[in-house]
Amino acid sequence: MARHPQPRELAALKGADKHDPQRYRNDSPKAKTPLGNAPDHMAGAAKAAWFELETFALPGVLTGADRFVMEVTASLLAEFRQNPSDFAAGKYTHLIGCLARLGLTPADRQKLGADKKPEDNPFENF
């Protein structure tokens, strides 16, 4: 199965756009609407998971176009928290995949460059 294409912003953060610029020459569409509040039809636990996921997401990553994935992720997370022993193995995989697509796993944050610490520059004081 082929890999999912990465957005231009992610390629720029990883430096892939410099390595293979012709692959990223076309602008990809970016939603301008904000993520917004959880949908009204979501249950209380799923709605709480929505706000928690939104809180811990990297700033500027989630937009209105991510609402559907966010809804699925929040519902799966709420279901997992209600009864982890009955949570099916396939749902674990799906939950981790959704979290990864939203940039909420350590590996995906590293791809975005969020975990990098600025290096100490000994010449900064001069």
Answer whether residue 21 is part of any domain. Answer: no
Whether 117 is covered by a domain: the verdict is no
| Within-domain flag for 13 | no
- Average pLDDT (36-40) is 93
Q: Average pLDDT over the chain, rounded to whole?
A: 83
**pLDDT tens by residue, 63-96:** 899 999 999 999 999 999 999 999 999 999 999 9
Instruction: Give burial (CB, 10 Å; 0-12/13-18/19+) of 43.
Output: middle
Q: Per the domain annotation, does 69 fall within a domain?
A: yes
Q: Is residue 104 assigned to a domain?
A: yes
- Does any domain span residue 122? no
| Domain interval for residue 101 | 33-112
Residue 120: inside a domain: no
Q: pTM of this prediction?
A: 0.69
Q: How many domains does the chain have?
A: 1
